[in-house]
Amino acid sequence: MARQELARFLRERRAALRPHEIGLTAAGTDRRTPGLRREEVAERAHMSVDYYTRLEQARGPRPSPRILDALSQALRLTPAERSHLFRLAGSSAPPGVSAVRRVRPHVARMLERLPQTGAIVTDAAYGVVAWNPLAQALLGGDLRGGRANLARRRFLGQGRMYESSSAEEFGHIVVARLRRAADRYPHDPQLTALLAELHTGSEEFRQIWQTRPVHAPGHRTKILDHPETGTLRLNCDVLLVPEDDQEVVLITADPGSPAARTLHRLARPAT
């Protein structure tokens, strides 16, 4: 536990939070700083002022995950700040109740800046939450509806599916990620419904689920049989958005290859 760093972090976040942001009025009060008072944070976090004061003075005991979560809410910490708070206290931040199904604006803007790269963002349950035009051209127009789920595509045939050399491998990747999601978000109703649907509708899914596959995101090469452009040899690389438990999948082709020329043609705006 990094006591001094934890104390400094709490003091800085308390000073940065303005009273009006939490519904308090600063009028008529003698505030020496623009931030919250210690007693206001303690009240919001449902703990004694003495306990909170000792944390800020690096004299307190190691706070429990329940205390850390209460402080995160009281200080209105972002997901990244919440994770940092847990790390300073020597704990691992537990996930939220449900998988994050909104993409951060800066992540969405990044996709727009990659016109020669197909890019999608998937949540912890393999729902496609963002994509760019080239990804739509490669993976199908049904992305546009905002309801595409790669697990349903792979095991239930929902959505436009193309023959791929990596279909079997991808099935194990999907199950490994969904198993992680089930452990992280046991009370997420959408995830629970998806898993029930997959177990009911796919014998293959049930068989792979029993093997408890483990997979780490990384680089893959696959051969895609596209109905309009023919066979494409593509590279898939994954970037993580850890604070939201999301993945950015980047689809590219080797420079100068026939597939690269095809991607360039697909990326050109229609005239």
105-267 CATH pick, 3.40.50.2300, 3.40.50.300, 2.60.40.730, 3.30.450.180? 3.30.450.180
With CA atoms as reference, report the closest residue to 254 among 230, 223, 229: 223
Residue whose token pair is 């905002």: 146
Could you tell me which of 128, 102, 99, 101 has the C-alpha nearest to residue 191? 99
Given a cut of 60, whether residue 260 has pLDDT beyond it is: yes
pLDDT band at 162 (very low <50, low <70, confident <90, very high): low
Other C-beta atoms lying within 10 Å of the C-beta of residue 167: 12
Q: Which of 54-63, 153-162, 235-244, 251-260 has the highest mean pLDDT?
A: 251-260
Examine domains 3-88 and 105-267 and report if their fold is the same.
Answer: no
CATH of domain 3-88: 1.10.260.40
Closest CA to 215 of 246, 169, 269, 160: 169
Whether the predicted pLDDT of 92 surpasses 80: no
Q: How confident is the model at residue 122 (pLDDT cuts 50, 70, 90)?
A: very high
pTM above 0.85, yes or no: no
Average pLDDT score, the chain? 87
CA atoms within 13 A on the CB side of 230: 5
In this prediction, residues 62-91 reach a mean pLDDT of 86
Look at residue 98 in the predicted model and tell me its pLDDT. 79
CA pair distance 30, 44, nearest whole angstrom: 20
Domain boundaries, the chain: 3-88, 105-267
Average of pLDDT values for 134-148?
80
Q: pLDDT at residue 5 above 70?
A: yes
236 forms bridges with which residues in the sheet? 220, 251
CB count within 10 Å of CB 147 equals 12
182-229 pLDDT per residue, tens:
988 888 899 999 999 999 999 999 999 999 999 888 888 888 888 888
